[in-house]
Structure 1
């Protein structure tokens, strides 16, 4: 896979090896959000920076939803596995530098990125850092920290608190004693709008944010769904990039990533993903907590279920199983019926071995019937009439077919009685 096509964990340059690459954020090595070097050129459309694009006379339309590369590449499996997503609420996208932890960045995001890099070897949960919009006096004030999937918020982190916060919350997985924790409810939507990093995100992101806000207002969901622009999350080529943290039908919250999202897709994301917990697979990049391979397998399974492929397979297997059972039962019936020689109304076919074999196969058939009915919703069943038909009686039995055990006992008794009489008579004759 093209290395520019995937989001990656951050690798803060510290002279270390690959083990330094699992603290994730919105930039690469010394560029919070991606693995070292993974996105060195990903911020440019056909190698053009935003400035050079303007110099070449390119308009926003060349970077928007109608651009030539929009929707061109596969999406699934482009989210690298991670376990926790930390968002720092801080100012607006138009003031974010291209790399929020760079020297020209403000002190709070820069120090938070540095603290994460320093403590990275001691952070057990793979953690991604992203900046989202913050405004004092609003629901997301400057310095607020949102943590997913924990669904918690800490208020007003300052640069004086950074080291203590990282140690207590991200390293030790405990509460930050210096700040009150709040539980988040509802659904949270983040849209990459980091225009100084990539013009595609700068063009597509704000349009999507506005469209989400319109949907929220029109549906009266201001207290249930929250949307915010955010910094680079990896994969500029997939702009518009959207992450949704929303409870599924079981109440579990995970981050689902979408790419190539256009304004026309926003309503479907509201109605299907946020409203019903259903994934839009044609836009789905992956989700947090899953490896790239597992993301592909999960989508394949969903597509098979939605297309009925799995049901067809089950039905075919059930039909084959049913056919095999029927063949076995019918063969046993033929063997049993042959003892009657085609003559009806007989008490034959009661040979113990044949009877037992037939009854055993009837039991097997009934069990197979239950398995098939439990496995498939199709009407592929073993006929209940097969294997349960009464044995044919024969009206003209031969003496050995109708001979009963009681008859044997009677004959033995008669023979014994005759023998006893003979012995007694012989003894009486000798006494004379």
Structure 2
């Protein structure tokens, strides 16, 4: 082992043993929609930084709409060339949208489709039949995501299979979402809920909490899913996330 690799390993061990003492809530970047580009390889195998021409172009065009563009591993690689992609989109107002092909040739049309989806007043019922769980397992970006995230993703899949609820819950992996120190990070859509600092022991409770709630984009007054691990929600700024959580906590304590 080279000195550089040894230092990196020691640093990773130290980070894995460190828990975050600051509140989790209010740590999600404000966004009104999230685009997941399907990857040909697991996010656990992503390089430190991953980007494609399509991802950069789509992010540039939709940034003003409050959209985040990332990569996900669904377990079934689309096996498309680098200049094409399949995408799953979630917005606070429109729910889920599947895009069978995104390319530089049709990016203008895709941009208009995304605008219309984000501006919908209500999600259509068929977009609310499934809950998609995205766990950050981007270990090359931060070892905590690789260690904690990979374990949580594996156990979520096992628990979903054990309960035979794969038709309701889809477990995915995702690239860097921001907040390595909050690993394992879990994004729940169409709800738009973000959870952090999850461990193996939390997996059954995560699934129980999701199954007791409606499958739709959450609004301001919806109570957080798993409050002790709640980072924030799609469609809310950081100050709004803090305000909603503190209001919920005050109601719970009265």
Q: CA deviation at 1:131?
A: 0.5
1:86 correspondence with 2:35: yes
2:200 matched residue in structure 1: 263
Counterparts of 1:282 and 1:184 in 2: how far apart (Å)?
A: 25
Find the aligned partners of 1:53 and 1:237 in 2 and give their Cα distance. Answer: 22
Per the alignment, do residues 262 and 165 of structure 1 end up closer, same or farther by CA in structure 2, a change over 3 Å counting? farther
The answer for the alignment partner of 1:144 in structure 2 is 86
CA distance in 2, matches of 1:275, 1:62: 36
The CA distance in 1 between the partners of 2:18 and 2:142, in whole Å, is 15
Measure, in 1, the Cα distance between the counterparts of 2:151 and 2:179. 18
1:170 aligns with 2:119: no
Which residue, 56, 59, 68 being the options, matches 2:7? 56
Structure 1 residues 207 and 243, CA gap change in structure 2 (3 angstroms)? same
Aligned residue in 2 for 1:293: 239
Which one has a bigger Cα radius of gyration?
Answer: 1
Hey, which of these two has a bigger chunk of strand by percent? 2
Is the 8 Å Cα contact of residues 137 and 173 (structure 2) preserved in structure 1?
yes
CA deviation digits over 1:186-240, x for unaligned, max 9? Answer: 1110000111111111111111111101110111101110011100000111111
- Corresponding residue for 1:132? 72
CA contact (8 A) 2:149 2:185 kept: yes
CA 1:238–1:136 in 2, change beyond 3 Å: closer, same or farther? closer
Of the three residues 18, 33, 58, the one matched with 1:116 is 58
**Pick aligned residue for 1:154 from 90, 99, 103:** 99
Give 1:79 shift: 0.8
SS of 2:236 mapped into structure 1: coil
1:120-156, CA deviations, whole angstroms, 9 ceiling, x for partnerless residues?
Answer: 47x4x2101111004557xx7763211113211122x
Structure 2 counterpart of 1:284? 230
C-alpha contact (below 8 Å) 1:63/1:200 kept by paired residues: no
TM-score of the aligned structures, taking structure 2 as reference length: 0.79
CA RMSD of aligned residues (A): 2.8
Alignment partner of 1:202 is 2:146: yes
Report the count of equivalent residues.
229
For structure 1, which segment, 90-99 or 218-227, has the greater mean C-alpha deviation from structure 2 after superposition? 90-99
Q: Distance in 1 between matches of 2:242 and 2:4?
A: 35
Scaled by the length of structure 1, the TM-score of the pair is 0.48
> Is residue 76 from structure 1 mapped to residue 38 from structure 2 by the alignment?
no
Secondary structure of 1:203's aligned partner: helix
Instruction: State the SS of the aligned residue for 1:58.
Output: helix
Contact kept? 1:111, 1:159, Cα under 8 Å: no
Q: Distance in 2 between matches of 1:162 and 1:60?
A: 44
**Aligned equivalent of 1:212:** 156
By how many angstroms is 1:71 displaced? 3.6
Cα distance change of structure 1 residues 294 and 200 upon mapping to structure 2, 3 Å threshold: same
Aligned mate of 1:233, from 170, 173, 177? 177
| Structure 2 stretches lacking a partner, 5+ long | 119-125, 215-223
The 1:59/1:221 distance shift into structure 2, 3 A limit, reads farther
Q: CA deviation at 1:72?
A: 2.6
Extract unaligned runs of 5+ from structure 1. Answer: 1-50, 102-109, 175-181, 246-252, 309-432
